[in-house]
């Protein structure tokens, strides 16, 4: 099994005062369950206007946590790129602060890295299951995923998953420029262009509604296709 000195967990956050505390606690718990791996939690606040920044400044002060603030809302892609740039771990995993993805699935992803010696692991919402997203989001994701598979000869089931794990040295060698949610497409297509074999593992998913604070919309689907 591959051993690790440090795992970087990049957490992009925008107006997540309701979920942030729980997200940090669950990430630490998942790291312990993954075999006591050492982690650094890199939280990138993307110009929050609620109480998120106050929580970060007063409660997220543990030695395993580093925080970066954007003066304005730059977009998820910008926040993820900051986290990637600042990461120091052997591997890097992206964990959204909204907890649509369960941090416990981090254990499954790490086990895949150890067993298959992978450089890239995706947590798929659609592997062995259906109906975990709305019909519209499922259609857009299916279209983009199949287009990607045709173009790159891959066999992915969920290219737009937000739960992605990369070998840091591999990821930091890929130039990224996306500012918004199209970062998911850019990460996948550029990883495949770099000849990465992406392993997928099934993960749980609890999608939020727009009333609950979900931020991705149809325009983001258009941007993803253009990417």
Q: What is the pTM of this model?
A: 0.87
| Residue linked to tokens 């050492």 | 38
Spatial contact of 47 and 70, defined as CB atoms under 8 Å apart: yes
pLDDT for 208 equals 52
Q: Is the dihedral of CA 172, 168, 19, 217 positive or negative?
A: positive
- For the stretch 127-136, contacts whose Cβ atoms lie closer than 8 Å and that sit 24 or more positions apart, written own/partner, are 127/157, 127/158, 127/200, 127/201, 127/202, 128/202, 129/202, 132/205, 132/207, 133/205, 133/207, 134/207, 136/218
Please classify residue 109 by burial: count the beta carbons closer than 10 Å to its beta carbon, then call 0-12 exposed, 13-18 middle and 19+ buried. buried
Of 126, 111, 116, 194, nearest to 159 by C-alpha is 126
Task: Give the containing element (helix H, strand E) for 20.
Answer: helix 20-33
What are the C-alpha distances in Å from 20 to residues 9, 144, 176, 211? 14, 30, 26, 18
pLDDT at residue 210 greater than cutoff 60: no
Q: What is the pLDDT of residues 162-194, one digit of tens each?
A: 999 999 999 999 999 999 999 999 999 999 999
221 pLDDT exceeds 70?
A: no
- Distance between CA atoms of residues 156 and 147, nearest Å: 10
> What is the pLDDT at residue 37?
86
Residue 137 has pLDDT above 70, yes or no: yes
Q: Report the pLDDT averaged over residues 43-48.
A: 98
Q: Is pLDDT at 97 greater than 80 in this prediction? A: yes
Instruction: With a cut of 70, say whether residue 17 has pLDDT above it.
Output: yes
Task: Kindly tell me if the per-residue pLDDT of 1 is higher than 60.
Answer: no
The Cα-based distances of 167 to 2, 153, 190, 199 in angstroms read 12, 22, 14, 13
């Amino acid at each position: 099994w591959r051993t690790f000195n440090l795992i970087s967990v990049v957490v992009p956050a925008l107006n997540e005062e309701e979920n942030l505390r729980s997200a940090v606690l669950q990430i630490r718990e998942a790291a312990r369950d993954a075999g006591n791996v050492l982690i650094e939690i890199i939280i990138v606040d993307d110009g929050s206007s609620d109480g998120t920044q106050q929580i970060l400044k007063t409660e997220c002060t543990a030695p395993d946590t580093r925080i970066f603030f954007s003066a304005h809302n730059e977009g998820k892609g910008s926040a993820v790129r900051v986290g990637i740039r600042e990461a120091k771990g052997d591997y890097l995993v992206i964990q959204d602060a909204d907890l649509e993805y369960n941090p416990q699935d981090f254990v499954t992803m790490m086990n895949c890295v150890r067993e298959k010696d992978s450089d890239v692991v995706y947590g798929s919402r659609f592997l062995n299951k259906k109906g975990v997203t709305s019909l519209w989001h499922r259609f857009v994701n299916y279209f983009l995923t199949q287009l990607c598979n045709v173009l790159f000869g891959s066999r992915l089931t969920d290219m737009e998953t937000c739960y992605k794990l990369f070998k840091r040295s591999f990821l930091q060698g890929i130039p990224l420029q996306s500012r918004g949610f199209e970062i998911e497409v850019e990460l996948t297509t550029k990883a495949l262009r770099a000849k990465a074999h992406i392993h997928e593992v099934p993960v749980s998913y609890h999608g939020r509604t727009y009333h609950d604070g979900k931020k991705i919309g149809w325009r983001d689907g258009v941007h993803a296709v253009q990417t």
